[in-house]
Structure 1
């Protein structure tokens, strides 16, 4: 899909130049987007389409602004002033692109870069004027067997580039992490940004209002207290110190990263069994959580083995929330919420905010998209009804 979008944009640019028109305009972006959506309308929901066209729209809108054109226009001046203008233009384009892409990155990936524009001030000139020429010289001198020196120099400049990248990534301000962003906040920010980019008069600044409201809403988002994956096998809870703990300590990196990003958390993840407020056996794990002015009791299954009814029914009755990757029997009656295979088949993954007793689900009411595969209901092989 990215290759097709690039090909369509290149053909539109060539067509505009052939007709003697100014090809790099917002009309070009609009026509390219319409062509892509005419053949692949589902692309609109993907981060690739959104980020590509948002970045191009921001760059074209900035390039059309009279003050930016005045800054980048050619003039007779010394090399120092020319270099300063080039660096200023690079910084402005980098900041604009990062600001436009930030809502999309936060909505889809729960994280966004903050210092990329400043890192590019070093990375782009270094790559353009040092790395690429050295690689060309190395390839040229390889024809006579003398390219080793230039390859060594290329390696050193790449090491410098990696040093800059690691240095920026190590900064505490390098990325912004947030919990899952609600769709309405995302739509508010994107609508405001589009208003700012598409208008050319003073009306454009009215779009800053929705953007400010959306940013404020994102900053005020509270991380969920409990996260449950769509299969019910993996459960993450917030600890009393603000960290995270997993039900299954042997969960892989993908599960850990996904749950941590969904919670807007970047730190070590503990095992639920190691928490002081947890009681865990091979098959069950009960943990106490303080939130919303009260204490919550959460019970989760952590194996496929059959649990004795007398024990399990007693634990269910004492719990506010019961979570299982199997279909729970009717006699398991927690005080507030029962999350099992039947419920997860309807809702997908679940996030719970205990302060407000609010439940957020991946699947919403009315979701009937063709790419959603309805799971087949099946009885867990290890669960046998008890009479």
Structure 2
């Protein structure tokens, strides 16, 4: 059979002529080009050329800038600023000088992005600088309430401190977060005086653990604690400015609306979830309610972030465009689509402000704003390039968020959704989404089969939505496992249900109810929202009670998550099959790190008042009273599903564990004993008998124990983890040697701060380099 040769390949002559033949001949070059591109993708040079033509390497610039942020956060000491600025200027000059030379230009751009992320993080740290409390103190604070988060019993208060009796003025934190069981009628904007027990923000409870102190520093919080007694009114403080007044007024309005929603809905956790979805106030939810939605893998239901922001912007955009299209004059003569995008952008900003402008909503606002601006200027909104610009915006404004689980989960999910959409668009014919030309007459079309009609398209849409949800869930799985040490197999059921509830109940109800709230006509709307929440909670309860509803995973190796992230990035950024194959070695390395993470036998809290020890049954137990935060971190890192409250009692069942008024002792894995000393009177005996002595006090010198971790040693090392090896113990420290960062200051020179009993400062004798075996008989 003869064929006709065209640009894209040979079209068989048997199919030439007639409308069907014309359509096939028009489509043949496209099909042949797709096949050619797929085959050409097997050549590295052709694959790179295709990626370069589609400007995909640009998407690695936000990744490189994020790596610069991680480099800043990983530094042992606070870097100087002049050297990164110099490197940034040189990289910028290199970019200008190397225009027209792709490979050197790419290297210069990568260097510029890397140093730019580093500089952005350093400038951010300097701009939010706040003194960090050094130790437990009791002080009388005066200040202005910035936020109040009401709880089922009490409240959590964010206080902007103006004065603190007992603290040097140069070391008073800018903000303090307090909990109280008697909030009274305190509201944001009130000037108060309160006596509080203050603690430094918690550092990592174990090496490679979550460091709350760093997050607190970037939020301007230098201390946490609890109010002792009544919170009393105080003389008004100086005016903090229009922005602060607006923020406090919004917080008062959010609390009033949250209490209104909770009161109207009632039903305990259902009302609390409704209030959280409408206002972002989550503290009304009970611990049991949190556990139910967490076990079902839908904890994000109470977090206002990307999904809600996108739905609000889309709803406002659709309503504004339809309203403008009602006028034929506006619809035919003016760019009403761009006008609707502008209205949606304003609505998204107001939604961000109205929900408290938290980190999650701010990041969602960045992403949504860039997409709406793309519509405003006539570009496609949902593209990977726009997501890259959103990531760069976050890195420029709040670079510390790159290290947070919220940022990583959000961008992983959105990048996966966009990648699925891009793949769908590439597989579809060019005119699939084009409007048909109804003016052109044609032959009467045959009746389409069911799978080609509206029902078929609806079915395809559902399948596409489910496929995208599955891919997004897989994209976030590694981050969920690494950050929270658990996975929910039933999330594939919970996520679509949650999205449907948010789309049909929560977001429309939140907008309509907020408008009707000042009129007192909002109650029916909140009941409508509650119906959807009850359905989701019923399903969440069933999922949480199902077998294997939550898979608990132990700690990953520190290098596992970067490799897993690179595997995901290789899949969603590259388009050619050959370059996507680079994800395979990255995935293999990441899975190896996930499988062979460190499993420590002993972990010492950075405060020295608690020790986790692995018992004969392989599970952790404790000596001392571990805080809820510390216990939770230990359990999660070990993949242990027990409740954190149970861990504090586990020492009672450890074989051989004994406690009295001066401390506790317990056997160590593999032999020997550990002593936790809480009274100096126990040092004489425990230093002689125990091979490991842990204490929040200052140990005497000499102490015959092989390893002494006292207050001075732990100030330098932070939390310490020990693992039994053939020749002793391998040690890991949470703090690097000589570490001194704004959120984790190095210990003050001991000669000026305190002296050990016995005269000499010899605590360095019992410390070993990170990872080096410590000889303990």
Q: TM-score scaled to structure 1, two decimals?
A: 0.81
1:3 to 1:121, Cα distance in 2 relative to 1, 3 A: closer
- 1:19 aligns to what? 377
Equivalent of 2:701 in 308, 330, 334: 330
> Unpaired runs of 5+ in structure 2?
1-358, 434-450, 761-777
1:276 to 1:138, Cα distance in 2 relative to 1, 3 A: same
Equivalent of 2:655 in 253, 276, 286: 276
Partner SS, residue 658 of structure 2: strand
1:271 to 1:152, Cα distance in 2 relative to 1, 3 A: same
Q: Deviations over 1:115-138 (max 9, x none)?
A: 322212333335544677789999
User: 1:247-266, aligned counterparts within 5 Å?
Assistant: 247-249=623-625, 251-266=626-641
Q: Cα distance, 1:170 vs. partner?
A: 3.2
**What CA distance in whole angstroms lies between the structure 1 residues aligned with 2:520 and 2:685?**
80
Q: Cα distance, 1:348 vs. partner?
A: 1.2
Asked if structure 2 preserves the Cα contact closer than 8 Å seen for 1:140 and 1:147, the reply is no
Asked if structure 2 preserves the Cα contact closer than 8 Å seen for 1:327 and 1:342, the reply is yes
Q: Cα distance, 1:200 vs. partner?
A: 0.3
1:360 correspondence with 2:732: yes
- 1:209 aligns to what? 585
Asked if structure 2 preserves the Cα contact closer than 8 Å seen for 1:230 and 1:350, the reply is yes
Q: Deviations over 1:264-321 (max 9, x none)?
A: 211242431432222332222221133xxx32422222x2x22155423322xxx232
Partner SS, residue 581 of structure 2: helix
1:94 to 1:330, Cα distance in 2 relative to 1, 3 A: farther
User: 1:33-48, aligned counterparts within 5 Å?
Assistant: 33-48=391-406
Q: Cα distance, 1:252 vs. partner?
A: 4.3
Q: Cα distance, 1:351 vs. partner?
A: 2.0
Equivalent of 2:673 in 297, 313, 316: 297
Equivalent of 2:467 in 89, 92, 96: 92
1:248 to 1:88, Cα distance in 2 relative to 1, 3 A: farther
Asked if structure 1 preserves the Cα contact closer than 8 Å seen for 2:609 and 2:695, the reply is yes
Partner SS, residue 667 of structure 2: strand
Q: Greater Rg, structure 1 or structure 2? A: 2
1:220 to 1:136, Cα distance in 2 relative to 1, 3 A: same
Q: Cα distance, 1:222 vs. partner?
A: 5.0
**What CA distance in whole angstroms lies between the structure 2 residues aligned with 1:115 and 1:25?**
29
1:373 correspondence with 2:745: yes
User: 1:1-387, aligned counterparts within 5 Å?
Assistant: 1-66=359-424, 70=428, 76-79=452-455, 81-82=456-457, 84-129=459-504, 155-202=530-577, 203-249=579-625, 251-267=626-642, 268-269=646-647, 270-290=649-669, 294-301=670-677, 303=678, 305-315=679-689, 319-335=690-706, 337-355=707-725, 357-365=729-737, 367-376=739-748, 379=754
Q: Deviations over 1:137-196 (max 9, x none)?
A: 999999998976x86675454322102112223345333433332321111111121112
Asked if structure 2 preserves the Cα contact closer than 8 Å seen for 1:351 and 1:360, the reply is yes
Asked if structure 2 preserves the Cα contact closer than 8 Å seen for 1:224 and 1:352, the reply is yes
Q: Deviations over 1:205-258 (max 9, x none)?
A: 320222133123313335322222211112111221122212125x44333222
1:344 to 1:106, Cα distance in 2 relative to 1, 3 A: farther
**What CA distance in whole angstroms lies between the structure 2 residues aligned with 1:60 and 1:329?**
61
Partner SS, residue 673 of structure 2: strand
**What CA distance in whole angstroms lies between the structure 2 residues aligned with 1:374 and 1:331?**
25
1:21 to 1:309, Cα distance in 2 relative to 1, 3 A: closer
Asked if structure 2 preserves the Cα contact closer than 8 Å seen for 1:113 and 1:174, the reply is yes
Asked if structure 2 preserves the Cα contact closer than 8 Å seen for 1:240 and 1:289, the reply is no
1:90 to 1:182, Cα distance in 2 relative to 1, 3 A: same
Aligned pairs, how many? Answer: 372
Q: Cα distance, 1:199 vs. partner?
A: 0.6
> Unpaired runs of 5+ in structure 1?
none
Which of 339-348 and 44-53 deviates more?
44-53
Asked if structure 2 preserves the Cα contact closer than 8 Å seen for 1:226 and 1:238, the reply is yes
Which of 158-167 and 116-125 deviates more?
116-125
**What CA distance in whole angstroms lies between the structure 1 residues aligned with 2:516 and 2:744?**
55
**What CA distance in whole angstroms lies between the structure 1 residues aligned with 2:716 and 2:702?**
21
1:238 to 1:171, Cα distance in 2 relative to 1, 3 A: farther
Asked if structure 1 preserves the Cα contact closer than 8 Å seen for 2:555 and 2:638, the reply is yes
Partner SS, residue 708 of structure 2: strand
Kindly indicate whether structure 1 or structure 2 has the higher relative contact order, using CA contacts under 8 Å at least 6 residues apart: 2
Q: Cα distance, 1:44 vs. partner?
A: 2.3
Q: Deviations over 1:337-367 (max 9, x none)?
A: 3222222112211222224632222223464
